[in-house]
Chains A and B, each alone.
Chain A
């Protein structure tokens, strides 16, 4: 079946570095993508989203890039802070009903 997946299960960076978390998706019908952050014991927290008619969207310290040609999504976090340590999930939405989540990448930020 079609799925969303992540290349790297764990990413370790130093405080102040830029982090890049990658995600591959296979459902070409997906028209909306979201990155969620999940801290231990908490629910997924919305970070940033992007529609399929865009290839880049910027937020505060975060940028999402979408490459529809290779079905690839990335989350860039600038000047990573210890508080950014969490599991990051990409999710795709083909309509209003369902979010399909990827497996998650653990981001570990060392001071």
Chain B
């Protein structure tokens, strides 16, 4: 069964460092998303991406964040200068229409 895969599963970084979270969406999907979940809280939308551009983003997705689809298979989320409050689970999702399939997440810990 096709699935969304994310790497790494856990990333520890120092405050102020840049991190890149990687995702391989399901191959025939056209819509890609990043969500985050702070421990014990709900899943929050960050950004959606379609046709090689951002289609929608939340207020969380500020200038520190960027997304890229560098090739035909990967979808990345970059955080330029991490802050302690960026510590969370980051989920990538992809969709061929309405139903979004989620990856297992990357746990980002900023120390």
Interface, chain A (partner B; CB < 8 A): 32, 34, 36, 38, 42-46, 49, 89, 91, 93, 96-104
Total A-B residue contacts, Cβ distance less than 8 Å: 59
* Minimal beta-carbon separation of A100 from chain B (angstroms): 7
Interface, chain B (partner A; CB < 8 A): 4, 31, 33, 35, 41-45, 48, 50, 55-56, 58, 91, 93, 95, 97-105
Name the B residues within 8 Å of A93 (CB-CB).
Answer: 98
Chain B CB within 10 A, most for which of A36, A89, A98, A100: A98
**Are B102 and A43 interface neighbours, CB within 8 A?**
yes
Name the A residues within 8 Å of B41 (CB-CB).
Answer: 103
Name the A residues within 8 Å of B102 (CB-CB).
Answer: 36, 43-45
Dominant secondary structure of chain A at its interface with chain B: strand
**Are A42 and B104 interface neighbours, CB within 8 A?**
yes
Dominant secondary structure of chain B at its interface with chain A: strand
Chain A CB within 10 A, most for which of B33, B58, B98: B98
Name the B residues within 8 Å of A46 (CB-CB).
Answer: 99-101
Cα(A73)–Cα(B55), bound, Å: 27
Cα(A34)–Cα(B95), bound, Å: 13
**Are A102 and B42 interface neighbours, CB within 8 A?**
yes
Name the A residues within 8 Å of B98 (CB-CB).
Answer: 32, 49, 93, 96
**Are A98 and B43 interface neighbours, CB within 8 A?**
no
Instruction: Give 4 new A-B contacts, CB below 8 A, not counting A93-B98, A96-B31, A98-B58.
Output: A44-B43, A44-B102, A97-B50, A104-B42
Cα(A89)–Cα(B100), bound, Å: 13
Cα(A96)–Cα(B41), bound, Å: 24
Chain B CB within 10 A, most for which of A32, A38, A93: A38
**Are A98 and B99 interface neighbours, CB within 8 A?**
no
Chain B, Cβ-Cβ closest to A4: B42
Ranked 10 nearest A-B pairs via Cβ: A43-B102, A97-B56, A97-B48, A101-B43, A44-B102, A103-B42, A101-B42, A43-B104, A43-B105, A97-B55
* Minimal beta-carbon separation of A96 from chain B (angstroms): 6
